[in-house]
Structure 1
Amino acid sequence: AAQAAVALRQAQLYSEVLELEKLKSEMIRMASHDLRNPLNNIMGYVELMAMSIDAIGMTPDQEQYVDNLRRSSQAMRQLLEDLLTLERIESERQSEWQLFDLSGLVLEVVEAQQSSADLKRQTLIFTRLLDTPPVRGSVTQLRQAIANLVGNAVKYTPEEGRIEVTCEFNNNQLKFAVRDNGYGISPERQVRIFERFYRAREPGTDHIGGTGLGLSLVKTVIERHGGQVWFNSETGIGSVFGFWLPPAE
């Protein structure tokens, strides 16, 4: 009887957890939808003001206020998008996953990031091994995770820096890595690097925007695919971020 009572209580708790998760997802969707429209209106007016600075005759201080408002609204929009992305990741069913070539997906992401690297006169190199086995998973989720890692390397590497992306098969695991010679991360900040909303602010990076959700999203995606994230970083030297994924069975 005692065991039956415990089992019943566990079933009730599990049901409550599922309901809370469902409620959380619904609240995120509703909040994001309700905030997106007014935010888009605000951003539209801010852009009009920015384009009319000369015609209006703004003072330098007023121009700075407009620029700050534009940056803040862009950051808010990115936060909403990241929250929605996390919600979609956590609710997607594995039955929707498919077999695909990870190295091909990495190539797509690198090509998409090339223009951003070019703007900073960075060298972006991808070393691709063609005989890597396929993985089973969500193309959308893994594309987002890879884009976050490569995008971070571009953002946190100064102009004329170097970024190396690799994808290989080693020890029966698929290994992805992106190495840069950017600002690096101090040891005291490394322990929190995958926390949601945490940003490792190092000297020289105050001008770089972000929501603090990018690496948390990467960790969530990779672990949902049975993999593991890893990184090494040294202040003033650079960082290497990557993950291991099991091949499809």
Structure 2
Amino acid sequence: MLELPKLNLKNKVSAQEWQTRIDLAACYRLVAMQGWDDLIYTHISARIPNSDHILINAFGLTFDEITASNLVKIDIDGNIIDPECPFEINPAGFTIHSAVHQARHEAQCVFHLHTNETIAVASLTEGLLPLSQYAMFALASLSYHDYEGLAVNEDEKLRLQNDLGDSNFMLLRNHGALTLGETIGDAFMHMYDLTRACQVQLQIMSTGMEPVYAPQKIVDGIKAQASVVHTGLTGGQKSWPAMLRRIYRHDPSFAD
């Protein structure tokens, strides 16, 4: 059995970077708990506040092995900042993330996952339908990007950026899902809502019965309603402290 290098960066980076590492590592562990991971593939990236540097998972680690210290710090081109870092990143996997971080500077965090449910709905001509409350949140800010093969082509980045626009949810045709947020908690909750929306849609469609679609005016007004529910805060701000407590109870080693 190969042992992972033991790293401890807690007192070697800024307080802002360490908190970002804690939140991002927690995200990876939560994704594993939810069953959203895909072996060593897919990525969640986060920009370190007041910095041009981004944190991402080391290529070859499963999500339940991610810790605050073994996240890899890179620049927007995917170059590893620390020359002594014992890990590599997946350059192809970072293509999508770099495209989003370049275009959406207000977004701290970008999720890209390959769950069965999001791939299935992304592969339907109709895409996501207004069939559940979860879908309302996503439909209020949803875009699509057509499949172009493995994300290794630099030319695809501009097309992805144009398709994304100012949306916070994206379905990648035949591929999976992407969400982003101004905080790591926001991006996590966006992925939670999108995944649940896709799960519910597939369950409804599997009955073969005629569904009831929510009217467009409800979708149009959902952002204002969500602001009332969250007392003016975002879903991530309200939910993230509880998610952190959950992962600390489950396995506090993520914070190493």
Instruction: Give the alignment's TM-score, normalised by structure 1.
Output: 0.23
Q: Which has the higher contact order (CA 8 A, sep 6+)?
A: 2
Structure number having the greater helix percentage: 1
Compare CA radii of gyration and give the structure with the larger one.
1
Structure number having the greater strand percentage: 1
